[in-house]
């Protein structure tokens, strides 16, 4: 089973708008809401490919119940920790010009007792899992080294872990040498502490991380493509040419695809081709994490 951890899930409200005009009245053309958060998106994709998956994290209030119901409908196991606060709602504004504006709530505050309950549930789920995906931001009350702590537990139990986060969460997580990380270029620059002006610089930073103990570094580079680096090889897969409707969830698609390839024991070159195709297929739909299989197979 693949275990996904989403400590700060959200209800994603997607709104179509002709053009976003700051400081003026903006009338939305269409809206719809789905269960979201990086790890939730990964779970949605895994279940579309009929892989056994379990999801955990913090959920509270009406929005929390909506997310849990959606995950259960997917056929995934639910091991969420109930909290007093309300799970956040994020708003994605999709302009007709192709620009996506994201309005992200910070999330609820987690108590020490709620955090302890989550860690206890994590230990139980870890026993049932062969691979763990740690994704996204964390709510207030959760320390910046939480992913590092969870990654260390995974390594101690012989479980592979994929880490996809940013900022101090990523910096602290990398210290525990997770099996795979999936930064984008900006997140990689944060780790490097400087700008990475070209692909050569990006490759060098990824190689540095691999030499320091991260087994696999996968860098999502948007419309350019995906870079894979380990201690033995560097592979670059160009992005697929598609009409983009929504880029939200493309990075999560890469994570889900790499997780599935790890479970199948596929070579990195094939894994990267699948990740590029899946990410592009995600981009042609309005709903993140909902893959049109015909488009995916054609791109692949």
Reading the chain (300 residues) residue by residue, the pLDDT tens digits are 999 999 999 998 989 899 889 899 999 999 989 999 999 999 999 999 999 999 999 999 999 999 999 999 999 999 999 999 999 999 989 888 878 888 988 889 999 999 999 999 999 999 999 999 999 999 999 999 999 999 999 999 999 999 999 999 999 999 999 999 999 999 999 999 999 999 999 999 999 999 999 999 999 999 999 999 999 999 999 999 999 888 889 999 999 999 999 999 999 999 999 999 999 999 998 788 899 999 999 999
Catalytic site includes residue 230: no
Give me the helix-helix angle, 268-283 and 250-264, nearest 10°.
150
Kindly state the percentage of the chain with pLDDT values over 90: 86
What is the CB-side half-sphere exposure of residue 216 using CA atoms within 13 A? Answer: 24
Residue 109 DSSP one-character state: B
Measured CA to CA, the distance from residue 220 to residue 100 in angstroms comes to 18
For 28-41, what is each residue's pLDDT tens digit? 999 989 999 999 99
**Structure confidence at residue 69 (pLDDT):** 97
**Structure confidence at residue 104 (pLDDT):** 87
Among the four given CATH numbers 3.40.50.2020, 3.30.460.80, 1.20.1260.10, 3.40.1190.20, the one describing domain 2-299: 3.40.1190.20
**Structure confidence at residue 172 (pLDDT):** 97
Neighbours of 146 (CB within 10 A): 20
- Enclosing H/E stretch for 181: strand 180-181
Four-residue CA torsion sign, 105, 106, 109, 113: positive
What is the CA angle 232-238-240, rounded to 5?
Answer: 140
Q: Residue 133: beta bridge partners? A: 4, 162
Which listed residue (12, 97, 164, 252) is catalytic? 252
Indicate the burial class of 256 (C-beta count within 10 angstroms; 0-12, 13-18, 19 or more).
Answer: buried
**Structure confidence at residue 280 (pLDDT):** 96
**Structure confidence at residue 95 (pLDDT):** 86
Neighbours of 45 (CB within 10 A): 27
**Structure confidence at residue 14 (pLDDT):** 87
With b for 16 or more beta-carbon neighbours within 10 A and e for fewer, the 92-112 pattern comes to: bbbeeeeeeeeeebebbebee
């Amino acid at each position: 089973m693949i275990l996904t951890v989403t400590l700060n899930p959200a209800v994603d409200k997607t709104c179509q708008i002709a053009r976003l005009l700051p400081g003026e009245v903006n009338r939305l053309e269409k809206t719809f809401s789905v269960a979201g958060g990086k790890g939730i998106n990964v779970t949605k994709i895994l279940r579309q490919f009929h892989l056994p998956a379990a999801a955990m994290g913090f959920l509270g209030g009406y929005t929390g119940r909506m997310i849990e119901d959606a995950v259960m409908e997917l056929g995934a196991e639910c091991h969420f920790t109930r909290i007093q606060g309300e799970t956040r709602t994020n708003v994605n504004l999709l302009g007709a010009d192709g620009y996506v504006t994201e309005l992200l709530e910070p999330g609820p505050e987690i108590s020490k007792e709620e955090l302890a309950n989550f860690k206890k549930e994590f230990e139980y789920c870890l026993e049932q899992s062969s691979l763990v995906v740690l994704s996204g931001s964390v709510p207030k009350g959760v320390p910046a080294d939480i992913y590092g702590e969870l990654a260390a537990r995974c390594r101690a139990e012989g479980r592979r872990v994929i880490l996809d986060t940013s900022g101090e969460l990523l910096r602290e997580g990398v210290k525990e040498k997770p099996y795979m990380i999936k930064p984008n270029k900006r997140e990689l620059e944060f780790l490097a502490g400087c700008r990475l002006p070209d692909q050569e610089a990006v490759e060098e930073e990824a190689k540095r991380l691999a030499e320091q103990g991260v087994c696999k570094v996968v860098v999502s580079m948007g419309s350019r493509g995906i870079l894979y680096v380990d201690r033995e090889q560097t592979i670059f897969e160009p992005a697929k040419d598609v009409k983009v409707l929504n880029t939200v969830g493309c990075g999560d698609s890469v994570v889900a695809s790499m997780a599935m390839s790890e479970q199948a024991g596929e070579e990195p070159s094939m894994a990267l081709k699948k990740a590029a195709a899946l990410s592009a297929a995600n981009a042609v739909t309005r709903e993140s994490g909902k893959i049109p299989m015909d488009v995916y197979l054609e791109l692949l």
